[in-house]
Homo-oligomer: A and B are copies of this chain.
Amino acid sequence: MLPTVSSPSTRRERQHLATVEEVKAVARDLMARDGTGSLNLRAIAREMGMTASALYRYFPSRDAILTALVVDAYDAVGSAVEEAVARAPVDTTCTAILAAAHAFRRWALDHPQEYGLTYGPPVPGYEAPEQETAAAKMRTNIVLLTLLKRALDQGIVRIPEVDIPARLRPGLRTLDERVPGMPLPALAAAMQFWMVLYGAIAAEVFGHMPRPLLAQAGILFDRTIRTALSVMGVAPEALTAAISPKF
């Protein structure tokens, strides 16, 4: 995203950064092959044809590598979703929202281990430092909230002004810091949409759907998201006109 503060001018600095990237790439590959649990320094070093101790030139500890992977993963979903939205037309249908949802699912299916690292249960014996990961984690949420706001402004989504319980209000208010100007019922609806989106993806990636349906999970996913949109007051015509990406 943002360029690093000090531009890596010298050759050495560039090679150093390249190796840092290689470490992460190899770690990702190992995770993809053997699962999150077996991610260890020695395996990474082995794969790179190095000694384990050499890795300490690039990361101060094993946990630092994990944190870097977490940040990268959040950034990767963020990018994938952002790009999908950028490619979608700004029309009066839900095509863009569907594109975002499908991009999220696609990334999760393509990177199940990284998805587990970020959107699964907390990794035992490791807690990702909020401060370092928060910004990256926020990206996807911001895209979704921005889309919802745009849909509200365009009149595609119409959320009735129901009463929101007092206890929910302060929590919901913190949601729109980054995408201000949304009414409380819309924020509540956004949270419900998030739960549906999260569940539809996690259930598939983590294998908690009946096996015979797993192969057709894409269709179910699309239907589920469309249902969630209709709940948010999207008119049937706008939904019918909306195009889902191939899945």
Contacts and interface: CB of A to CB of B under 8 A. Distances in A.
Interface of A: 34-38, 112, 116, 119-125, 165, 167-168, 170-172, 174-175, 188, 191-192, 194-200, 202-203, 205-210, 212-213, 215-216, 219-220, 223-224, 227, 230-231
Nearest to A207: B122
A197 B199 CA distance: 7
Contacts of A188: 220, 223
Given A124-B37, A171-B210, A212-B170, A195 B196 contact: yes
A38 B216 contact: no
Nearest to A192: B224
Given A165-B219, A167-B219, A125 B38 contact: yes
Contacts of A116: 121
Q: Main secondary structure on chain A at its contact with chain B?
A: helix
A223 B193 CA distance: 12
B200 A213 contact: no
A112 B121 CA distance: 9
A86 to B, nearest CB: 25
Contacts of A206: 119-122
Contacts of A205: 121
